[in-house]
Amino acid sequence: MRSSCCRSARCRTRRRSGGFTLLELILSIAIIVLLGLLVVPRLMSASPRLAAENEGIRLRADLAYAQQMAINEACAHKVIIDTAHERVAIQRRDGESYVTATERTLGYGVNIESSTFTGDAVVFNLLGEPSEGGTVVLRGTDGSTVTLTVTPGTGHITVLSGGREL
Protein backbone atom coordinates (compact mmCIF):
# COMPACT_ATOMS: atom_id res chain seq x y z
CA MET A 1 0.00 0.00 0.00
CA ARG A 2 2.71 2.44 0.88
CA SER A 3 4.37 2.23 -2.49
CA SER A 4 1.12 3.00 -4.29
CA CYS A 5 0.68 6.17 -2.17
CA CYS A 6 4.11 7.49 -3.11
CA ARG A 7 3.33 6.95 -6.78
CA SER A 8 0.30 9.20 -6.59
CA ALA A 9 0.56 12.84 -7.71
CA ARG A 10 -0.23 14.04 -4.19
CA CYS A 11 2.84 12.43 -2.62
CA ARG A 12 5.18 13.61 -5.37
CA THR A 13 3.98 17.19 -4.91
CA ARG A 14 4.51 16.98 -1.19
CA ARG A 15 8.09 15.82 -1.64
CA ARG A 16 8.97 18.77 -3.96
CA SER A 17 7.37 21.53 -1.93
CA GLY A 18 10.44 21.88 0.32
CA GLY A 19 12.46 24.29 -1.88
CA PHE A 20 13.93 25.08 -5.29
CA THR A 21 15.91 22.74 -7.47
CA LEU A 22 19.51 23.48 -8.34
CA LEU A 23 18.51 24.13 -11.95
CA GLU A 24 15.96 26.76 -10.89
CA LEU A 25 18.54 28.54 -8.73
CA ILE A 26 21.17 28.56 -11.49
CA LEU A 27 18.67 29.94 -14.03
CA SER A 28 17.56 32.67 -11.61
CA ILE A 29 21.15 33.73 -10.94
CA ALA A 30 21.95 33.71 -14.68
CA ILE A 31 18.98 35.99 -15.41
CA ILE A 32 19.99 38.43 -12.65
CA VAL A 33 23.60 38.54 -13.92
CA LEU A 34 22.41 39.12 -17.50
CA LEU A 35 20.15 41.99 -16.44
CA GLY A 36 23.02 43.49 -14.44
CA LEU A 37 25.29 43.35 -17.48
CA LEU A 38 22.71 45.24 -19.50
CA VAL A 39 21.78 47.90 -16.92
CA VAL A 40 25.10 48.83 -15.26
CA PRO A 41 26.80 50.25 -18.41
CA ARG A 42 23.78 52.46 -19.09
CA LEU A 43 23.82 53.79 -15.55
CA MET A 44 27.56 54.46 -15.70
CA SER A 45 27.30 56.40 -18.97
CA ALA A 46 24.46 58.55 -17.59
CA SER A 47 26.43 59.51 -14.49
CA PRO A 48 28.45 62.49 -15.88
CA ARG A 49 25.34 63.99 -17.49
CA LEU A 50 23.40 63.63 -14.25
CA ALA A 51 26.27 65.21 -12.29
CA ALA A 52 26.24 68.23 -14.63
CA GLU A 53 22.45 68.51 -14.35
CA ASN A 54 22.66 68.29 -10.58
CA GLU A 55 25.21 71.11 -10.47
CA GLY A 56 23.00 73.18 -12.77
CA ILE A 57 20.09 72.75 -10.38
CA ARG A 58 22.33 73.60 -7.40
CA LEU A 59 23.61 76.74 -9.13
CA ARG A 60 20.02 77.79 -9.88
CA ALA A 61 19.28 77.33 -6.16
CA ASP A 62 22.34 79.44 -5.25
CA LEU A 63 21.22 82.25 -7.56
CA ALA A 64 17.63 82.12 -6.28
CA TYR A 65 18.89 82.12 -2.69
CA ALA A 66 21.03 85.22 -3.26
CA GLN A 67 18.11 86.93 -5.00
CA GLN A 68 15.74 86.14 -2.13
CA MET A 69 18.26 87.20 0.53
CA ALA A 70 18.75 90.53 -1.27
CA ILE A 71 15.00 91.14 -0.98
CA ASN A 72 14.69 89.88 2.62
CA GLU A 73 17.69 91.79 3.96
CA ALA A 74 17.18 94.85 1.72
CA CYS A 75 20.82 94.83 0.66
CA ALA A 76 22.69 93.69 -2.43
CA HIS A 77 23.94 90.11 -2.74
CA LYS A 78 26.52 88.95 -5.28
CA VAL A 79 27.00 85.49 -6.77
CA ILE A 80 30.55 84.91 -7.97
CA ILE A 81 31.03 82.20 -10.57
CA ASP A 82 34.74 81.44 -10.34
CA THR A 83 35.59 79.68 -13.61
CA ALA A 84 39.28 79.31 -12.71
CA HIS A 85 38.71 77.44 -9.43
CA GLU A 86 35.36 75.79 -10.27
CA ARG A 87 33.59 77.37 -7.30
CA VAL A 88 30.53 79.46 -6.52
CA ALA A 89 30.38 82.05 -3.73
CA ILE A 90 27.52 84.16 -2.40
CA GLN A 91 28.51 87.47 -0.88
CA ARG A 92 26.48 90.00 1.09
CA ARG A 93 27.00 93.74 0.74
CA ASP A 94 28.33 95.19 3.99
CA GLY A 95 28.87 98.93 3.66
CA GLU A 96 31.31 99.51 0.83
CA SER A 97 32.51 95.91 0.49
CA TYR A 98 31.14 92.38 0.20
CA VAL A 99 31.42 89.63 2.82
CA THR A 100 31.31 85.98 1.80
CA ALA A 101 28.19 84.27 3.16
CA THR A 102 28.62 80.84 1.54
CA GLU A 103 31.08 79.24 -0.80
CA ARG A 104 31.28 75.82 -2.44
CA THR A 105 33.20 74.04 -5.17
CA LEU A 106 31.47 72.21 -7.98
CA GLY A 107 31.10 68.45 -7.78
CA TYR A 108 33.59 66.03 -9.26
CA GLY A 109 33.51 65.81 -13.04
CA VAL A 110 31.72 69.11 -13.66
CA ASN A 111 33.48 72.23 -14.98
CA ILE A 112 32.32 75.79 -15.52
CA GLU A 113 32.91 76.15 -19.23
CA SER A 114 31.89 79.80 -19.56
CA SER A 115 30.10 82.72 -17.96
CA THR A 116 28.86 85.81 -19.77
CA PHE A 117 28.46 87.87 -16.59
CA THR A 118 30.79 90.85 -16.29
CA GLY A 119 33.56 89.83 -13.91
CA ASP A 120 31.94 86.38 -13.63
CA ALA A 121 29.50 87.75 -11.05
CA VAL A 122 25.87 88.78 -10.90
CA VAL A 123 24.61 91.23 -8.26
CA PHE A 124 21.00 91.22 -7.05
CA ASN A 125 19.80 94.59 -5.73
CA LEU A 126 17.41 95.03 -2.79
CA LEU A 127 14.45 94.45 -5.15
CA GLY A 128 15.94 91.14 -6.34
CA GLU A 129 16.77 92.48 -9.79
CA PRO A 130 20.02 91.24 -11.35
CA SER A 131 22.70 93.71 -12.38
CA GLU A 132 22.61 92.10 -15.83
CA GLY A 133 21.31 89.08 -17.67
CA GLY A 134 23.66 86.34 -18.70
CA THR A 135 24.42 82.66 -19.04
CA VAL A 136 26.62 80.08 -17.37
CA VAL A 137 27.54 76.86 -19.17
CA LEU A 138 28.53 73.78 -17.17
CA ARG A 139 30.17 70.76 -18.82
CA GLY A 140 30.28 67.15 -17.64
CA THR A 141 33.21 64.83 -18.33
CA ASP A 142 31.20 63.15 -21.11
CA GLY A 143 30.81 66.49 -22.95
CA SER A 144 27.20 67.06 -21.89
CA THR A 145 26.35 70.71 -21.20
CA VAL A 146 23.91 72.44 -18.90
CA THR A 147 23.08 76.11 -19.56
CA LEU A 148 21.74 78.48 -16.92
CA THR A 149 20.22 81.74 -18.07
CA VAL A 150 19.39 84.72 -15.86
CA THR A 151 16.84 87.02 -17.48
CA PRO A 152 17.70 90.75 -17.16
CA GLY A 153 15.20 92.82 -15.20
CA THR A 154 13.21 89.96 -13.66
CA GLY A 155 16.04 87.68 -12.60
CA HIS A 156 14.13 84.60 -13.80
CA ILE A 157 16.53 81.63 -13.90
CA THR A 158 16.20 78.78 -16.39
CA VAL A 159 18.28 75.62 -16.60
CA LEU A 160 18.51 73.71 -19.88
CA SER A 161 20.10 70.33 -20.52
CA GLY A 162 19.87 68.60 -23.86
CA GLY A 163 17.17 71.00 -25.02
CA ARG A 164 14.88 70.33 -22.05
CA GLU A 165 14.26 72.52 -19.04
CA LEU A 166 15.19 71.15 -15.64
> What pLDDT, on a 0 to 100 scale, did the predictor assign at position 157?
94
Q: What CATH code is carried by the domain that includes residue 106? A: 3.55.40.10
Domains of the chain: total? 1
CA distance 110 to 108: 6
pTM (predicted TM-score): 0.72
**Domain of 88, in residue numbers:** 46-165
Give 140-165 pLDDT, tens digit per residue: 888 889 999 999 989 999 999 988 88
Q: What is the pLDDT of residues 16-65, one digit of tens each?
A: 567 888 888 899 998 998 888 887 766 655 577 888 899 999 999 999 99
Residue 96 located in a structural domain = yes
- Please check whether residue 5 lies inside any domain of the structure: no
Helix (H) or strand (E) holding 77: strand 77-82
Q: Is residue 109 part of a domain?
A: yes
pLDDT of residue 51: 86
Burial zone of 65 (CB within 10 Å; 0-12 exposed, 13-18 middle, 19+ buried)? middle
By DSSP bridging, strand 121-124 and strand 77-82 are antiparallel
CB-based contacts of 80: which residues, under 8 Å, 6+ apart? 88, 89, 90, 91, 120, 121
- 37 within a domain of the structure (yes/no): no
